[in-house]
Structure 1
Amino acid sequence: MAGAVVLLLTATACGGGDDEGGAAQSGPSNVAATVPGVVAPAKVEVIADLTGCKVRIRTEADELREGVCRTKRGDYLITTFPEERLKLTWLDAAAVYGGKYLVGTRWVVSAKPELLEQLRPQLGGKIQELQGVGPAPGPSGQ
């Protein structure tokens, strides 16, 4: 029985991706984690629930959904995407601002670095630092 489940998960995770309709997929392809045992799907409400937040949806668009969390630990923004390529485009645009983000498959959490470290064990993903643009800081004290 376990072998059949693994086979089914493998088959569905590797399937499709060229669906012209752009309909949201469900199942194993919606999950991501680089921390063993952690599976955070690309759904704002589920990610918020995993972090103990009652989310307020801020943006509802075809390209992304954003939810704001205000907690005792700090405030953070959860952004999810219907396709991985849209997340990569968003990260590319966010690189202008620099900073650190917690990134999973089809989702990004924006917060202060200390909070990202606290959320990572709950969500999985990896902390990614974006460089930003503009002049590099010069030596101080001249």
Structure 2
Amino acid sequence: MTHALHRLRPIIAWCLTALGVGFILVSACATQPITATSRHGHAAPASPRPPVTLERLVAAAGCPSAKAQGKAADFRQVVCQAPQGRYTIMTFDTQTGRDAWLAEAEPYGGTYLVGERWAVVSEKDLLHQLRDQLGGELRGQPHGAHS
């Protein structure tokens, strides 16, 4: 058996050397730096957007002053009147809290810009502008449009 091990040592050494040289060549020949990719193989965004806080939502809406309308254990709500229109802005402590609020609110109609643990209610055109700044997904229908 020792004779077989002596014969395998040079083969194993050669394989490890070839593997190491291959890694060096691939690294040296790479034209672009290695970056994180999404599950679909596309490059991840270079600079992710900062987290969306209540203060950031109010600032993006352009509200000179926001009036707190509610604060509970799991959410905060403000209403603000910007020059371009009125916004109701909600932030939630959990995604589950946001989803529960949406389930209750959507049957009443309205258009919502929804992100991770936040939602904004306003006119559709205003929400499109906010989406460009903050991301999120538009949901809902005009007020009073019951199904």
TM-score by length of 2: 0.59
Number of residues paired by the alignment? 101
- State the identity %: 34
Structure with the larger helix share: 2
2:71 to 56, 60, 68: 60
The CA deviation at 1:131 is 9.2
User: Which residue is 1:11 aligned to?
Assistant: none
Letter in 2 for 1:76: Y
Q: How does 1:1-142 map to 2 (within 5 A)?
A: 38-41=49-52, 43-53=53-63, 54-129=65-140, 136=147
Name which structure has the greater RCO, CA cutoff 8 Å, separation 6+.
1
The CA deviation at 1:135 is 6.9
TM-score by length of 1: 0.61
Change (3 A) 1:67 1:38: same
Q: Tell me, which stretches of 5 or more residues in structure 2 are unaligned? A: 1-35, 37-46
Moved over 4 A (4+): 130-136
Structure number with greater Rg is 2
User: Which residue is 1:14 aligned to?
Assistant: none
Q: CA RMSD in A?
A: 2.7
Deviation larger for 97-106 or 121-130: 121-130
SS at match of 2:107: coil
